[in-house]
Structure 1
Amino acid sequence: MRGVAILLVATFCLVTGCNYLAASPKAGDRIVPERSTLRVGVGNRIDTAPLRIAVADGSFTRAGLHIELVPLKSDADALRGLASGNVDVAFATDVAFFTAAASGTALQFQAEAYTSAPFTMALVTLPDSPYTKLTAKKSPRIAVDELNGLSVLAVRSMFAAAGGDPDRIRFVQYPFEGMQAALRDGSVDAALMIEWFITQAQQSLGARILADSSHGAMMNLPMTGYASSGLFAQVNPRTLALFRQVLTAGQQRASDPTVIRRALPQLAGIDDATADQVALGEYPTSLSGTRLQRVADLMHSSGMLADRLDVQSLLPKPVP
Structure 2
Amino acid sequence: MVRRGPGAARRAAAFLISALTLVATAGCSFLPGGGGSQAQQVERNTLRIGVLPAVDVAPLRLALNNKLFENAGLQIDLVSESSEADGLRQLDAGTLDVAFASNVTLFKNAAAGQALQLQAEAYQAGTNTMALVTLPNSDYTDPSARPAPRIAVDSDPGVGTLTTRSVLSTVGIDTTKIRFTQMPFGDMTDALKNGSVDAAWMVEPYITKAQKQLGAKILTDTARGATLNFPMSSYATSRKFADANPRTLQLFRSVLGQAQQMAANHLLVQDVLHQYVDVDIPTAALVSVGVYPTSLNPVRLQRVADMMETAGMLTTRLDVQQLMPPGTTT
Please report the TM-score for the alignment, with normalisation by the length of structure 2.
0.86
Greater CA deviation, 88-97 or 70-79?
70-79
Code of the residue aligned with 2:131 in structure 1: it is A
In structure 1, the residue matched to 2:140 is 131
Pairing 1:102-251 to 2, within 5 Å after superposition: 102-251=111-260
Greater CA deviation, 103-112 or 29-38?
29-38
Residues 30 and 251 of structure 2 are in contact (CA less than 8 Å); yes or no, is this contact kept in structure 1? Answer: no
| Consecutive unaligned residues in structure 2, runs of 5 or more | 1-28
Structure 2 counterpart SS, 1:277: coil
In structure 1, the residue matched to 2:43 is 34
In structure 2, the residue matched to 1:262 is 271
Q: Determine which of 286, 311, 315 is the counterpart of 2:320.
A: 311
Structure 1 counterpart SS, 2:251: helix
Q: Deviations over 1:262-318 (max 9, x none)?
A: 212223242222111111001000100011011111111111111111101100014
Code of the residue aligned with 1:213 in structure 2: it is T
In structure 2, the residue matched to 1:46 is 55
Q: CA–CA distance in 1 between the matches of 2:91 and 2:171?
A: 38
| Consecutive unaligned residues in structure 1, runs of 5 or more | 1-24
1:281 aligned to 2:293?
no
Q: CA–CA distance in 2 between the matches of 1:133 and 1:79?
A: 38
C-alpha deviation, 1:121, in angstroms = 0.1
Q: CA–CA distance in 2 between the matches of 1:67 and 1:36?
A: 8
RMSD: 1.5
Q: CA–CA distance in 1 between the matches of 2:281 and 2:309?
A: 40
Identical columns (%): 51
Q: Determine which of 288, 291, 295 is the counterpart of 2:300.
A: 291
Residues 61 and 272 of structure 2 are in contact (CA less than 8 Å); yes or no, is this contact kept in structure 1? Answer: no
Q: Deviations over 1:124-158 (max 9, x none)?
A: 01111111111211111110000111111111111
Structure 1 moving runs of 4+ over 4 Å: 25-29
Code of the residue aligned with 1:189 in structure 2: it is D
Pairing 1:69-108 to 2, within 5 Å after superposition: 69-108=78-117
C-alpha deviation, 1:26, in angstroms = 6.5
Code of the residue aligned with 2:90 in structure 1: it is G
Please report the TM-score for the alignment, with normalisation by the length of structure 1.
0.89
**Structure 1 residues 252, 30: CA separation in 2 closer, same or farther (over 3 Å shift)?**
farther
- More relative contact order in 1 or in 2 (CA 8 Å, sep 6+)? 1
Code of the residue aligned with 2:133 in structure 1: it is V
Structure 1 counterpart SS, 2:236: strand
Q: CA–CA distance in 2 between the matches of 1:161 and 1:135?
A: 9
Q: CA–CA distance in 2 between the matches of 1:80 and 1:305?
A: 20
Q: CA–CA distance in 1 between the matches of 2:37 and 2:184?
A: 42
Structure 1 counterpart SS, 2:276: helix
Greater CA deviation, 113-122 or 61-70?
61-70
Code of the residue aligned with 2:115 in structure 1: it is A
In structure 2, the residue matched to 1:6 is none
